[in-house]
Amino acid sequence: MTDDLMRELVQLQRYATGLQELMAEANAEAPSRTTGTDHTGVIQVGLGADGLPEAIRVQQGWERRLEPARVGEAVVEAAQVALGERMASWTIRLRDIGWQAQVERLQQGDEPPAPPVPGEVPPALRRAVDQARPRPLGDLAEDMIAAFDHVEQMTPPAVATATGSAAAGKLTLTLSRAGLVSCVAEPHWVARQTATMLTNALGEALAGARTALARTIEPHHPTGALERFLAETLAVLRDPHRLAE
């Protein structure tokens, strides 16, 4: 029974490891830079390799094509266009290297894992298992069952965001790790700015938001309890004396 459970756990770990490797491969193929422009052609946003805005430019004569009150919307629109271009380019690249086929082979289990060595702990969990201090089996089983019973009720962690500003708060940009969230600009202030002044202010706010985002910490994932229980379970399985309790 113990060997069967270990085999299933190792298979699960092999799948997780293979998926991580595929995701790393996909990330390596991401476009290094993508640009997008709003429908007026006034605002251009450039995305870096991380998919976040790294440059925002305002074209000369912007006031003839864009109302001051809509500049913030135009910045968001240009960022969304750039993100769409990035995803389209990325998708084509992944198709060219056959990435999707690799994912399907992993999902179908076309390459069955080798039988596990009795007592062997999957490498990615080895450190967690070594550090685990398993509780009595009865307590561990009860908590793990409860965790699985409520796993569907778990909500995703809140998305971390960060804001940068310029012109004494008259312009603010908010970023998440997924991209530009919002851009808010005070219309009366915008109306008095040249293209160069707006570009500089947007650059200042963007730099502040990127710096602030780099300092944020992603919220703890709600399935962390299950990972802890798995580490405790493997620690128990490695110790025959614990199984006899």
- pTM, two decimals, is 0.66
Sign of the CA dihedral running 117, 121, 124, 126 = negative
Average of per-residue pLDDT values in the chain: 77
Looking at residue 118, its pLDDT comes to 46
DSSP character at residue 186: -
CA distances from 241 to 33, 53, 182, 245 (A): 57, 56, 57, 7
Percent of the chain with pLDDT over 90: 44
8 Å CB contact between 155 and 222: yes
User: Looking at the predicted structure, is the pLDDT value of residue 191 above 90?
Assistant: yes
Looking at residue 11, its pLDDT comes to 65
For 22-50, the pLDDT digits (tens) are 788 888 888 889 999 999 999 999 999 99
More confident residue, 121 or 232: 232
Looking at residue 231, its pLDDT comes to 58
DSSP character at residue 154: P
Burial class (CB within 10 angstroms; exposed 0-12, middle 13-18, buried 19+) of 22: middle
Looking at residue 114, its pLDDT comes to 47
User: Looking at the predicted structure, is the pLDDT value of residue 223 above 90?
Assistant: no
Looking at residue 140, its pLDDT comes to 53
Q: Which among 171, 207, 175 has a CA at the least distance from the CA of 188? A: 171
More confident residue, 60 or 145: 60
Sign of the CA dihedral running 172, 178, 179, 185 = negative
Pairing between strand 34-37 and 53-58? unpaired
Looking at residue 119, its pLDDT comes to 47
Q: Tokens 């998708």 identify what position?
A: 91
